[in-house]
Amino acid sequence: MSENKDINTIANQLLNAQDNINNVATKFNRNTNSVVLMAVSKTKPIADIEAAYAAGQRVFGENYALELFDKQQTLSHLKDIQWHYIGPIQSNKTKIISQSADWIDSVDRLKIIKRIDQHAKALNKTINLLIQVNISNSPQKSGVSLDQVNELAESINELKHVSLRGLMAIPDNYEPNADGQRPQLKAEFNLMFTCYSHLQQQYPSVDTLSLGMSGDLNIAIECGSTMVRLGTAIFGKRK
């Protein structure tokens, strides 16, 4: 594929994704700008991010600390990119993540959060946080359980250099039933929304519920997601 073809493809896929988001939001009586599209650019080259940026995309998600760091450095002239770190957090990577991320969407341990707060202080910045919830109780996934959210939120609220913005979850891949429905997925998304609503009543800074990927974004929007994370749908398959 030539470079121009790539650029057009990414721009088109962004348009299609945004169209779909707008349609689903409207169908469920939601404001079309109440759902933010995050472009997940992990493993994709700088040129792809530049193409998405040229098409107007500003919110990007990355999963690997060093990859995020390199990309953020290379693209530091694009000052209005909002970088989200959405991967698992190793404690020896908190510094490099804090240096390059505007948001960290996968916090689930106070020890790590305190480190992020200290790094943010040294960097003279405020880092936005989403608490990751392991909503399907998957042994191999990060995240707290729903009943641990309040305690962690209280602790975050006491720190000065991080701002609690909401919740994130990555549910299991539930196959549709004979009726084409995914009741378990919907139930889990609804639990997330209830927890998010309670949090919002307690903390005015909370405005983000990150639910929904390429395979489940319509249900996520139906259930109240304010941020969907799309990789493959924007940039194509990863190797």
- Please, what is the minimum distance in Å from the beta carbon of residue 158 to ligand PLP? 27
The answer to the question of residue 170 lying near ligand PLP (CB under 6 A) is yes
Applying CB under 6 A, among 40, 89, 120, 152 the residue interacting with ligand PLP is 40
The answer to the question of residue 39 lying near ligand PLP (CB under 6 A) is no
Applying CB under 6 A, among 214, 218, 222, 236 the residue interacting with ligand PLP is 214
Applying CB under 6 A, among 63, 82, 118, 205 the residue interacting with ligand PLP is 63
Q: Which amino acid is at 229?
A: R
The answer to the question of residue 43 lying near ligand PLP (CB under 6 A) is no
The answer to the question of residue 44 lying near ligand PLP (CB under 6 A) is no
d(CA 145, CA 122): 31
The answer to the question of residue 229 lying near ligand PLP (CB under 6 A) is yes
Identify which range of 64-72, 145-153, 155-163, 224-232 contacts ligand PLP by CB under 6 A: 224-232
Pick between residue 85 and residue 196 the one whose CB is nearest to ligand PLP: 85
Which residues are at the interface with ligand PLP (CB under 6 A)? 40, 42, 63, 86, 170, 213-214, 229-233
